[in-house]
């Protein structure tokens, strides 16, 4: 399953409600953000390989200002893991695919 795009209007359904079924990683990003581009392909691959354990959802902060403001997004890329409608972990900045995988898997084990 590929990453899913969400927006301010669908965020509650795509993230909060979905995280009650399985955890959701939200990638806050923007098209002008170089580090965001660096983690885009690794997140796509992780979305495929971890699809049975987690969903990965992307939200463009330029097009959707409400939810990033609500969640206090001040720098991107910012990844948040939601479980049962709540943020359980965050990862700031671009890191390697292996580190992203490890971060996700460590948080799924909790």
Q: What's the predicted TM-score (pTM) here?
A: 0.95
**pLDDT at res. 110:** 64
Q: Strands 24-29 and 55-60, how do they pair?
A: parallel
Tens of pLDDT, residues 37-79: 999 999 999 999 999 999 999 999 999 999 999 999 999 999 9
CATH of the domain at 9: 3.40.30.10
**pLDDT at res. 76:** 96
**pLDDT at res. 91:** 96
Mean pLDDT, the chain, whole residue set: 95
How many independent structural domains does the chain possess? 1
Q: Which domain holds residue 16?
A: 4-108
Q: Is 33 a catalytic residue?
A: yes
Of 18, 36, 56, 104, which is the active-site residue? 36
pLDDT of 20 > 80? The answer is yes
Of 18, 24, 26, 33, which is the active-site residue? 33
Q: Is 36 a catalytic residue?
A: yes
Q: Name the pLDDT band for 1 (thresholds 50, 70, 90).
A: low
DSSP letter string, the chain: ---EEE-TTTHIIIIIIGGGTS-EEEEEE-TT-HHHHHHHHHHHHHHHHTTTT-EEEEEETTT--HHHHHTT--SSSEEEEEETTEEEEEEES---HHHHHHHHHHHH--
């Amino acid at each position: 399953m590929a990453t899913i795009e969400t927006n301010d209007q669908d965020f509650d359904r795509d993230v909060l409600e979905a995280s009650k079924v399985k955890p959701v990683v939200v990638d806050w990003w923007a098209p002008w953000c170089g580090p965001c581009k660096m983690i885009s392909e690794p997140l796509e691959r992780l979305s495929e390989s971890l699809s049975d354990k987690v969903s990965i959802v992307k939200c463009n902060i330029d097009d959707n200002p409400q939810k990033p403001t609500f969640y206090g997004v001040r720098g991107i890329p910012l990844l948040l893991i939601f479980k049962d409608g709540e943020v359980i972990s965050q990862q700031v900045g671009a890191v390697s695919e292996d580190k992203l995988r490890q971060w996700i898997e460590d948080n799924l084990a909790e």
